[in-house]
Amino acid sequence: MYKLRPLLDGLMLTLKRFFSKPITMRYPEEKWDFPDRFRGRMVLLKNSAGATLCVACGLCEKICPCSCISVSPETGSDGKRKMARYQLDLTRCCFCGLCVEACPVGAICLGTGYEMASADKKDLMLAESILLEGSVQSEGNDG
């Protein structure tokens, strides 16, 4: 008898779980909700007019502990500084979020993207076009 006890305990647990709500998520079909401060892939923001907020001041590049950002400026048609190229090397990024903290115009934030696996390393060099994709409009921080 004493030998049967653990087995029954186990079966009991299984039976209990059998009637409770499942916690497994069917991953590709189903996805998590994100907590507010989730640290996912970076996103470059646009203002309400749809213009890139980044002015290529280079502070994110400077502060990045992994040196994974490189940004270069150009002169816009109005004679002001604007971003020409922005590249983020995901193979090195540690999602520390220092770039977000350094940015004086709030042009970059940590997004919710986490599906970053790829067979080609090149896909992990994110150019500005990818970083701006599906970019949310920033609230309150325009200009």
Partner 1 sequence: MAMIKLKINNREVEVKKGSTILTAAKKAGAFIPTLCHDERLTPYGACRLCMVAERKKPAKLIPACFTPAREGMDIITENPEIIKSVKKQLQLILINHPLDCPVCDKAGECVLQDLVIRYGITAAPYKLEVRHKRVDRESSLIERDMNRCILCGRCVRICAELQGRHEIDFINRGIKTIIGTDGERPLDCDFCGQCISTCPVGALTDNTFKNTTRVWKLAKQEAVCSQCGMACSVDLNIQNGKIRRVTAPVSDHGNIGNLCARGRFGWRAYEKSARATQPQINTDGQRKDVSWPDALSYCAEKLAYVSKKYGPESIAVLSSDCLTTEEALSYRAFLRSELGIEKIGSQTAAGYRQVLSGLLETHGASCKIGSLADLKASDIVIVAGGGAAEFHPVLKTLLNSFIRKEERELIVISPWPDFCWEKATLPIYVNPEYYDKFLLEFCQSLEGKSADGSCDISQFGVPAATFAKLVSLIHSGREITLLVVPQLFGGSAALVRLTSILHHFVKTVIPLGASVNSRGAVTRAEFFTARKAEASNDSGNENVLQKIKNGNIKALYLLGDDPLEYSANPQEIEILFSKLELIIHQSPYLTRSAKFAHAVLPSAVLPEKTGSIIDMWGEEHIIKAALLPPPGVKTDADILFQLQNLWKNNSAVVKNVPANEIISSALLPPARLQYDRKQFPFMMTAVPSIYGDGIISRQSPEMQKLKGSLKIVMNADDCEKAGIADDASVHICTPYGEAKGIAKLSVQVRPGNILVENIPGNAEGLRLISEQVSAVPANIRLAGGES
Residues making contact with partner 1 (CB under 8 A): 55-59, 62, 72-75, 79-82, 104-105
CB of 69 to partner 1, least distance (A): 12
CB of 95 to partner 1, least distance (A): 23
CB of 27 to partner 1, least distance (A): 41
Return the C-alpha torsion angle 105, 134, 75, 67, nearest 10: 70
Q: Of the two residues 41 and 56, which places its CB atom closer to partner 1 in the complex?
A: 56
Which of 143, 134, 140, 53 lies closest to 100 in space, CA to CA?
53
CB neighbour list of residue 63: distance below 8 Å, 6 or more residues apart:
98, 99, 101, 102
Q: Of the two residues 3 and 80, which places its CB atom closer to partner 1 in the complex?
A: 80
Q: Of the two residues 97 and 106, which places its CB atom closer to partner 1 in the complex?
A: 106
